[in-house]
Amino acid sequence: MATATASLKRMYIDGKWSAAENGKTLGVINPATEAVIDEIAYGGRGEARHALEAAQRAMPAWMKLTAWDRAKILKKTADLMRERLDALARTLTMEQGKPVAESKAEILHSADTFEWFAEEGKRAYGQVIPNSQPGKRHVTVKHPVGVVGAISPWNFPITLQSRKIAPALAVGCTVVAKPASQTPLSLVQVFECMIEAGLPAGVANLVMGPAQEIADEFLENPICRKISFTGSTEVGKQLMRGAADQVKRISLELGGHAPLIVFPDADPEAVAKAAVIGKFRNNGQVCIAPSRFFIHKDVQKKFTEAAVEFARNLKLGNGLDAGTEIGPMFEKRAMEQAIALVDDAKRHGAKVLTGGKRSTRFEHGYFFEPTVLADLSPQSRILTDEPFAPVMPLLDFNKIEDVIQAANNTRYGLASYVFTNDLTIAWRMAEGLEAGIICINDPVPAVPQCPFGGMKESGLGRELAHEGLEAYLETKYVSFKLRDS
């Protein structure tokens, strides 16, 4: 078994763990303690190029394997991730900050993703198309798109790479993965699982270094035939511009500003609890986290009282400590951005019902109190900028037409949440809201078998589900002219 040896600081290129060519390393900081927990090899374009070349060499043999043979490796990877759940979760919590329970949920979801695509890869079907002329036959077949550059952020270090690596490998592509530099350690352990599962050299590679350098290599190197990116809308636009030069395939899962809408027939206290769970999961650092809360005036008072109470009683602490429900924000800059959003809302007249500041209970760490705001002005930045923060702004509404218009009044369109027991209202909202994911009475919607992605400036394409498999396939049309009999 190949391992990263004593320290989890190596890149994995062409079947070998390797240091950066320039010898550079970068410290990984625990956001709960502000201490460096490990160092990673910190390479650049050279390593990215070598990884792409290794992936290109490995692809002919990998794509010639049957889907069943590739599936065995993906399924074994999933099994090993589940077996190593405790160790993976501890690493993930230490580098990212989320509570261990959330880390375990992320790892299990990711293992399910590997297993699901192991099976779905066997269903990359083509078609037999009826012919319009005697003597002709028409079929389509599926072909892997090529070497894939997979770029992911820090908030879900394992999940967001699994959604790229698993479908790409399942259909016969090879991969170069670039995790966020702040949270690479848990992905190193996932690579160890893949290697032990029998992954051939070069099929999946792991590089770490400056995001711009590695992205530039992906964009400019013709070996890379597709980029799959999860991250900010601004960076996604830059990648789109760069991909145009080679008409390079690109999938983008970008920002969100999800409305959560509560109708008067819903139980306001039960919905408030679900809303708090959805909002403060991973400290609000979730692309599909609800971030604008529209509460019908008939239940506004009861919902607000319950939401404030639930938020105020969330246990803040080190994610490794038993009972912790909210960990630190992942880095100092993120905490400062949360403070700035709250201060801006207050300057425009918002009222802080609970939280609103950095916690004073901890000597170290980027701890920000779960926050609920009311009386917001439309000029508040938190209502227009994507708020990757544990801040819950409460708004009100009366009419369904008005709340649909207000919910859609954003450049984003990733997720929307609706709480109602009225089937007619539910359908009207599902049809009227401009979002790729519509959640009716469901605060945590993501599952491997259902498509995940957004509309408008929230991205291009879908991950997970059969659509997530198609993202790594080309369709070939084959036309036959038969001999005259």
Per-residue pLDDT reduced to its tens digit, 305-354: 999 999 999 999 999 999 999 999 999 999 999 999 999 999 999 999 99
Give me the torsion for CA of 331, 333, 335, 339, rounded to 10°.
Answer: 180
59 inside domain = yes
Give me the torsion for CA of 228, 230, 236, 238, rounded to 10°.
Answer: -70
Number of domains present in the structure of the chain: 2
DSSP letter (8 states) at residue 383: G
Mean pLDDT (whole number) for 424-453: 97
Residues whose CB is less than 8 angstroms from the CB of residue 317 and which lie 6 or more positions away in sequence, other chains included: 32, 323, 324, 326, 327, 362
Q: Is 335 exposed, middle or buried (0-12, 13-18, 19+ CB in 10 A)?
A: buried
Does 187 share its domain with 277?
no
Cα Rg of the chain, angstroms: 23
At residue 124, φ and ψ (nearest 5 deg) are -85, 70
> What is the token pair recorded at 378?
């439309």
Single-letter code of the amino acid located at 173: C
Rounded to an integer, what distance in angstroms lies between the CA atom of residue 168 and that of residue 170?
5
Rounded to an integer, what distance in angstroms lies between the CA atom of residue 422 and that of residue 374?
27
- Closest-CA residue to 253 (of 417, 473, 413, 470): 413
Long-range contacts of 305-310 (CB under 8 A, 24+ apart): 306/268, 306/269, 306/272, 306/273, 307/272, 307/275, 307/276, 307/372, 307/392, 307/394, 308/353, 308/354, 308/372, 310/272, 310/273, 310/276
Which tens digit of pLDDT belongs to each residue from 14-61?
A: 999 999 999 999 999 999 999 999 999 999 999 999 999 999 999 999
Which tens digit of pLDDT belongs to each residue from 448-477?
A: 999 999 999 999 999 999 999 999 999 999
CATH number at residue 207: 3.40.605.10
Rounded to an integer, what distance in angstroms lies between the CA atom of residue 444 and that of residue 31?
25
Does 217 share its domain with 141?
yes
Rounded to an integer, what distance in angstroms lies between the CA atom of residue 29 and that of residue 201?
30
- Closest-CA residue to 440 (of 271, 214, 277): 271
Does 400 share its domain with 344?
yes
**How many other C-beta atoms can be found within 10 angstroms of the C-beta atom of residue 428?**
16
Does 25 share its domain with 166?
yes
Residues whose CB is less than 8 angstroms from the CB of residue 439 and which lie 6 or more positions away in sequence, other chains included: 415, 416, 417, 418, 445
Which tens digit of pLDDT belongs to each residue from 99-135?
A: 999 999 999 999 999 999 999 999 999 999 999 999 9
Mean pLDDT (whole number) for 162-168: 98
Are 410 and 434 within 8 A, CB to CB?
no
Which tens digit of pLDDT belongs to each residue from 255-303?
A: 999 999 999 999 999 999 999 999 999 999 999 999 999 999 999 999 9
Residues whose CB is less than 8 angstroms from the CB of residue 305 and which lie 6 or more positions away in sequence, other chains included: none
Does 246 share its domain with 262?
no
Query: What is the structure's pLDDT at 485?
Result: 73
In the predicted model, is pLDDT for residue 480 greater than 60?
A: yes
Does 321 share its domain with 228?
no
Which tens digit of pLDDT belongs to each residue from 203-255?
A: 999 999 999 999 999 999 999 999 999 999 999 999 999 999 999 999 999 99
98 inside domain = yes
In the predicted model, is pLDDT for residue 3 greater than 80?
A: no
At 368 the three-state DSSP class reads strand
The number of angstroms, rounded, from the C-alpha of 40 to the middle of its chain's C-alpha atoms is 22
- Closest-CA residue to 449 (of 205, 151, 123, 130): 123
Does 250 share its domain with 325?
no
342 inside domain = yes
Does 91 share its domain with 39?
yes
Give the position of tokens 């008067």: 264
Does 275 share its domain with 185?
no
| Out of 8-12, 194-198, 211-215, 460-464, least confident range | 8-12
Does 32 share its domain with 146?
yes
4 inside domain = no
CA angle 101, 79, 194 (to 5 degrees): 105
192 inside domain = yes
**How many other C-beta atoms can be found within 10 angstroms of the C-beta atom of residue 176?**
31
Residues whose CB is less than 8 angstroms from the CB of residue 409 and which lie 6 or more positions away in sequence, other chains included: none
Does 141 share its domain with 224?
yes
Query: What is the structure's pLDDT at 9?
Result: 64
Rounded to an integer, what distance in angstroms lies between the CA atom of residue 465 and that of residue 376?
38
6 inside domain = no
- Across the chain, mean pLDDT equals 96
5 inside domain = no
Does 48 share its domain with 115?
yes
Antiparallel, parallel or unpaired: β 36-41 and 25-29: antiparallel
In terms of residue numbers, what domain contains 248? 11-254+458-477
2 inside domain = no
In the predicted model, is pLDDT for residue 8 greater than 50?
A: no
List, by residue number, the catalytic residues: 253, 287
Are 453 and 463 within 8 A, CB to CB?
yes
Query: What is the structure's pLDDT at 4?
Result: 41
CATH number at residue 289: 3.40.309.10
> What is the token pair recorded at 229?
């990116």
